[in-house]
Amino acid sequence: MAVPVRAYLSIGEVLSKLRAEFSDITISKIRFLESEGLIEPQRTPSGYRKFTNSDLERLRFVLLAQRDQYLPLRVIKENLDAIDRGLAPSANSGGIATPRLISQDGALTSATIGDDQDLRLTRAELISASEISDDHLAELESYGIISIRGRYYDADALAIAKTVVAISAFGIGARHLRSFKTAADREIGLVEQVTAPIRSQKGAEAKAKAEETERELAVLSIRLHASLVRAGLRRSK
């Protein structure tokens, strides 16, 4: 009978995997980096640390930054925070981190991230990445076209901001975009009517089905909207 492979590593196993690359690594140093908040391994009920492969790669990132770039822990922690939020750390200390995502037809898709993590941007990062002005962003927020979720802006906010910047080159201001928001709200309401009965069912399967239905309807809605606009413009010629 095959023995199942554990999904985590002990601190001793982590030390063994890193020692070939970092000869000065010790258990004490790993514990110190944990105390500084650079890694956060889980714990067993008896208190032993459980390291995942992600924890191992995070440790390797920290150790490389110390050894090869001579970065202080404060800067390394800032860089890790940027990575956790889907950003590429700034090459300069105190600089603005940039999204590690690319835009295709108004939708953000992963360019270099292996896993599917949400993009989280500060206001300064959103302004830098989208090249929108602070006043323009404030105006869009006043109309409810862009909104912040908790402390950060997400990938949708970035996609909207970049699209608005492109549209504004044609003399279309934020106040003209309120009709887009109104139309989107109506489409959202229609999708929610369809998925509400599915979401009322219990279980992970029902939730997954509702989410897949929402994604499919969103794609169809965008396709229909684009087709209607094209058809209307052709009729006007």
The CATH number of domain 11-84 is 1.10.1660.10: yes
Place of tokens 């929108």: 132
Closest residue by Cα to residue 174 from 152, 134, 125, 141: 141
Angle at 76 between CA 74 and CA 78, to 5 degrees: 70
140: nearest Cα among 125, 126, 119: 126
How far apart, in whole angstroms, are the C-alpha atoms of residue 219 and residue 136? 28
Domain ranges across the chain? 11-84, 96-172, 174-237
User: What is the pTM assigned to this prediction?
Assistant: 0.67
Tell me the pLDDT of the chain (237 aa) as tens digits.
454 456 789 999 999 999 999 999 999 999 999 999 999 999 989 889 999 999 999 999 999 989 988 888 998 998 898 888 888 777 666 667 777 644 444 343 433 333 334 789 999 999 999 999 999 999 999 999 999 989 999 988 999 999 999 999 999 988 899 988 998 999 999 999 999 999 899 888 988 999 899 989 988 998 998 898 899 988 876
DSSP labels, the chain: -PPPPPSSB-HHHHHHHHHTT-TT--HHHHHHHHHTTS---EE-TTS-EEB-HHHHHHHHHHHHHHHHH---HHHHHHHHHHHHTTEEPPSSTT---EESEEEETTEEEESS-SS-----B-HHHHHHHHT--HHHHHHHHHTTSS--BTTBB-HHHHHHHHHHHHHHTTT--GGGGHHHHHHHHHHHHHHHHHHHHHHTS-SHHHHHHHHHHHHHHHHHHHHHHHHHHHHHHHHT-
Q: What is the model's pLDDT at position 5? A: 54
- CA separation, residue 13 to residues 3, 43, 65, 79, 201 (Å): 18, 15, 22, 26, 44
Residue type, 221: S
pLDDT of res. 96: 73
Q: What is the pLDDT of residue 104?
A: 42
| Cα separations in angstroms, 174 against 152, 181, 209 | 21, 11, 36
Are 155 and 120 within 8 A, CB to CB? no
CA neighbor of 93 nearest in space, from 73, 112, 111: 73
**Angle 47-51-52 (CA atoms, 0-180°, nearest 5)?**
140
pLDDT at site 203: 86
